Amino acid sequence: MRQLLIEAEEKAKEVSVEIVKRGEILVPVMLVEVPSEKIIWSKDKSEKTDISTEIVCVHMPNIVKEAFADAIRQLLRKWNAFGYVFVIEAYITTSKRVVEENIPIHNLPADDRDDIIMITTVERNGEVKISTAVVIPTKEGRRVEEFKTLSDMQPGCYADGRMLVKNW
């Protein structure tokens, strides 16, 4: 992973934990690494253009799942992005009812599912890293367990889904 994306992922973890501690809802956020032209002045006062990268933050409070992949793919192409970090709150469950009875996870009783923070980091070459942390309700509010990468949770697993954009 590019160093800037790794730093963005670490910052996303810190910010997510703070938002959860304050009891706020974590709005879907995307950090995009994009090319950035900077004008550098040399000693002889002639200007040179330096192509570097920067991180752009995109808030997506009203994103519709069905439109997500196309909207993000267009944005990544428009900006000629090197990669992105996507942060979202989601649910996970081990309940077989989701498959057997075709029940959406968000409709399960709270004790049959866990809230998680999911951070997905993707490079333009298709390399994907997913980290998750369980959000635990407490009397004082909510707290976040340690972030684990997907490979730590399920060795040999492969990441894919309708909201995961790997090619643009």
Whether 100 is covered by a domain: the verdict is yes
Whether 160 is covered by a domain: the verdict is no
Whether 107 is covered by a domain: the verdict is yes
Split into its structural domains, the chain has a count of 1
- pLDDT at residue 148, rounded to an integer: 79
Whether 105 is covered by a domain: the verdict is yes
- pLDDT at residue 42, rounded to an integer: 56
Condensed to tens digits (0 to 9), the pLDDT of residues 49-66 reads 555 677 777 777 777 777
How far from 159 is each of 56, 115, 136, CA to CA, in Å?
A: 24, 19, 24
In this predicted structure, the answer to whether residue 130 has a pLDDT above a threshold of 60 is yes
Whether 121 is covered by a domain: the verdict is yes
Mean pLDDT, rounded, for 148-155: 62
- The sign of the torsion formed by the CA atoms of 71, 82, 59, 147 equals positive
**CA-CA distance, 84 to 86, in Å (whole number)?**
6
Whether 168 is covered by a domain: the verdict is no
> 85, exposed or middle or buried, with CB in 10 Å at 0-12, 13-18, 19+?
buried
Q: Which range marks the domain in which residue 23 is found?
A: 3-153
Q: What are the tokens at 81?
A: 């992005």
CB 105 within 8 A of CB 118: no
Mean pLDDT, rounded, for 59-83: 82
Whether 113 is covered by a domain: the verdict is yes
Whether 69 is covered by a domain: the verdict is yes
